Amino acid sequence: EHYPETASGKLALSSDAMGEGTWYDKAAGKARPGMLKVYGDIPEVRELCRLIVQATGATDKYAEIQTWTSPAGRVHAEMSDVQASGRWATKHPATANADPKIRDVFVPDDGHILLTCDLSQVDMRAIAALSQCPDYMALFEPGRDAHMEMAYAYFGERTPEARKKAKRLNHQINYGGGINAVSEQTGVDPAEVARVFTARAAAYPRLIEWTNEVRAIGESGALLDNRFGRLMKCDPQRAYTQAPALMGQGAARDLMCEGLLRLVEAATEVTPYLRGVVHDEVICSVPAEEAELWSDRLREAFTFTWKGVPILCSVSNPGANWLECEH
């Protein structure tokens, strides 16, 4: 019953389709349970899924990377910002979707180590700044754990389990998902999602007002402004989800660029050390003996305040490859 198929009727081979959670069926426009979520108690199915993910995931990505590797051993992926939000994407090869398990092929220059800098909850912080909802903005004050606080608002408890569930819900809800869509994407019961929607509206009223204002602009066909001057157009028929998503993603993209500009302005010599930007993460190859210096510079450049909301980051430990760069 839950055999995962693509639009053409072939077996869906993604790790999500094979996995313990849900996968998004684009043809049907809905989330479906992964094979292991339904049949994980059958040892033979578990082994088949493991082998499929191993064969079609890492192997294909290694082959793709090898195809686009130069004789000097370097990869020069094509970067573009074709998305309306301006968010960067890479191809030839696509590095943004590289499974963390195979990131060991990305290595620094001789005598260097890799450092990565990851913006913390940047989409949520962007929406807090854009909406100017006082109660929502307060979640990101120093020393507060936004997901834990929202878990308390949603479920009345501050526990690791409630925090994990709130975190899973927050991203989908912020980007305009309805009760059924959020339930399908997260696996949370629709009745519980409905209660979360009610609690969220009571806790963050200005956030709800702003979301509806943005939807109205999108539905009218007017351009959305992410407050960096980036004008974005969404499909008026899909403004309910697209408009808030574009605002959050567009602002997050330009907050990343703000950090990059601050970094280059503070230390122009960083330019040849920059290796890539993947979603909300910057990757640098820096001299090993200067690891602490560049760690401090990254942290300083990507820590600032935008419209009353602190923008924070996490700098990784030095790594001999991208896989070793743990935050």
The whole-number pLDDT of residue 57 equals 63
Question: Residue 102: pLDDT band by 50, 70, 90 thresholds?
Answer: confident
Residues 6+ apart with CB under 8 A from 314: 117, 118, 120, 327
The whole-number pLDDT of residue 59 equals 64
The whole-number pLDDT of residue 207 equals 96
Q: Give residue-wise pLDDT tens across range 258-285.
A: 999 999 999 999 999 999 898 899 999 9
Distance CA 37, CA 57 (A): 19
Of 29, 33, 30, which is closest to residue 4 (Cα–Cα)?
A: 33
DSSP element (H, E) containing 24: strand 22-25
Does the pTM of the predicted model rise above 0.85? no
pLDDT at 165 over 80: yes
* pLDDT over 90 percentage in the chain: 62
- φ, ψ for residue 97, nearest 5 deg: -105, 20
Residue type (1 letter), 56: T
Q: Which residue has the higher pLDDT, 114 or 96?
A: 114
Residue type (1 letter), 76: H
Residue type (1 letter), 313: C
Q: Give residue-wise pLDDT tens across range 20-56.
A: 888 888 777 778 888 998 898 999 999 999 888 877 7
Residue type (1 letter), 275: R
pLDDT at 8 over 90: no
Distance CA 318, CA 16 (A): 30
Q: Which residue has the higher pLDDT, 147 or 100?
A: 147
- Report whether 18 contacts 53 (CB < 8 A): yes
Instruction: Name which of 110-119, 162-171, 263-272 the model is least confident about.
Output: 162-171
Q: Which residue has the higher pLDDT, 275 or 95?
A: 275
The whole-number pLDDT of residue 199 equals 94
Strands 281-287 and 112-119: antiparallel
Per-residue CA distances from 298 to 116, 170, 293 (Å): 9, 27, 9
- Report whether 251 contacts 174 (CB < 8 A): no
Question: Left if phi > 0, otherwise alpha if psi is -120 to 50, otherwise beta: which for 92?
Answer: left
* pLDDT over 70 percentage in the chain: 98
pLDDT at 141 over 70: yes
Mean pLDDT of 308-322: 96
Specify the 3-state DSSP secondary structure of 311: strand
The whole-number pLDDT of residue 58 equals 59
- Report whether 61 contacts 91 (CB < 8 A): no
Instruction: Count the neighbouring beta carbons within 10 Å of the beta carbon of residue 93.
Output: 21
The count of residues in the chain is 327
The whole-number pLDDT of residue 60 equals 74
Mean pLDDT of 166-192: 83
